[in-house]
Amino acid sequence: MIAENTPGVPLPVRDALSEPYWAALDEGRHVFQRCGACGHAWLPPRAECPVCLQAAWSWETASGAARLISWVVYHTAFHPAFADRLPYNVAVVELIEGPRLISNISGIDDQEALQIEMPLQLSIEREGGVAIPRYVPAPPEHA
């Protein structure tokens, strides 16, 4: 769920289920859930495993390594808060532990430099006072 903060950036709503996720980001860690029954790992937080529907899960801390699965570059702002960021990317990122999430790739000057399977590294950035998981190209030694 997103809280509308117009004209600011829409911010996530913290609730009992997602609070550990946001608290971990505040501490500099990116966490995800893993099912105790089937082993599936996922994001965003939910009360049951999306594969086997069991409610037996735990939080795990991600390593920070990921890869780029897909992306789109926006040249039109569909929310006024993003107008000064054009063009900007919205990406599907897969953690090496398995879960995928929607994020942004930061630290690039040319959107054309993005590539499928590009190695990425977690970069927790603040947006409206909230820690947000974003990604940057991984240094060559991590690629």
Give tens-digit pLDDT for 25-76. 999 999 999 999 999 999 999 999 999 999 999 999 999 999 999 999 999 9
pLDDT tier, 133 (very low <50, low <70, confident <90, very high otherwise): very high
Residue 72 and residue 93: Cα distance in Å, rounded?
Answer: 12
pLDDT tier, 124 (very low <50, low <70, confident <90, very high otherwise): very high
The predicted pLDDT at position 5 comes to: 41
How far is C-alpha 96 from the chain's CA centre? 13
Please give the tally of structural domains in the chain: 1
- What does pTM read for this prediction? 0.89
Mean per-residue pLDDT over the chain, rounded: 92
Which CATH number belongs to the domain containing residue 71 in this structure? Answer: 2.40.50.840
